[in-house]
């Protein structure tokens, strides 16, 4: 069985675009039918004393468990030099890849929550996700994701101008 997966990818430390490209190149080897949204530059949300993020969404199909995908994502993040700082959990990072949706799965464990707990409150997640698939819905509430988007303030999310060939992974 294969599951349609939606990820959020972000970077705000060092060569942000380079880390995003690194993630996409590696994720293309993990997900079938890999596709990405446009890239957005976003203001930091939780810990304000850090640089702006570059964010995008990715989608594809995965054949194994969500926990297996989480391990593969952690390996990609580590390869990009991601070091977690427990004193600033939402602080600067070279690469952050979150599993937002995994088919219609609903999971809540210490290691993994799907749908992602920040899904309903983050424009920088919702805008690129809906760009990839405007019919997405929250598997918990069964509400369309666009309903959440229109309830949020602008949150400093802007389209980022990049070279045309970025989507050629």
Which residue is catalytic, options 2, 64, 84, 96? Answer: 96
Among this protein's residues, is 33 annotated catalytic? Answer: no
Which residue is catalytic, options 16, 98, 122, 123? Answer: 98
Among this protein's residues, is 64 annotated catalytic? Answer: no
Among this protein's residues, is 153 annotated catalytic? Answer: no
Three-state DSSP class for residue 1 = coil
Among this protein's residues, is 82 annotated catalytic? Answer: yes
Which residue is catalytic, options 16, 93, 122, 123? Answer: 93
Contact residues for 93 (Cβ-Cβ < 8 A; gap 6+): 10, 11, 12, 13, 82, 84
Helix H or strand E encompassing 32: strand 32-36
79 close to 22: Cβ distance less than 8 angstroms:
yes
Radius of gyration, alpha carbons of the chain: 15
Which residue is catalytic, options 38, 45, 82, 138? Answer: 82
Tell me the catalytic residues.
82, 93, 96, 98
């Amino acid at each position: 069985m294969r599951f349609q997966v939606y990820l959020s990818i972000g970077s705000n430390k060092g060569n942000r675009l380079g880390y995003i490209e690194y993630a996409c190149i590696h994720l293309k080897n993990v997900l079938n039918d890999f596709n990405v949204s446009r890239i957005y530059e976003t203001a930091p949300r939780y810990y304000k004393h850090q640089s702006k993020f570059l964010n995008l969404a990715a989608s594809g199909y995965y054949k194994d468990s969500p926990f297996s995908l989480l391990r593969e994502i952690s390996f990609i993040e580590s390869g990009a030099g991601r070091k977690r700082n427990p004193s600033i959990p939402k602080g600067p990072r070279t690469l952050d890849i979150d599993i937002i949706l995994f088919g219609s799965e609903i999971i809540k464990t210490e290691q993994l929550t799907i749908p992602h707990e920040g899904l309903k409150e983050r424009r920088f997640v919702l805008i690129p996700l809906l760009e990839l698939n405007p019919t997405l819905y929250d598997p918990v509430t069964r509400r369309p994701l666009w309903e959440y988007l229109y309830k949020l303030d602008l949150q400093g999310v802007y389209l980022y101008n990049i070279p045309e060939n970025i989507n050629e992974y």
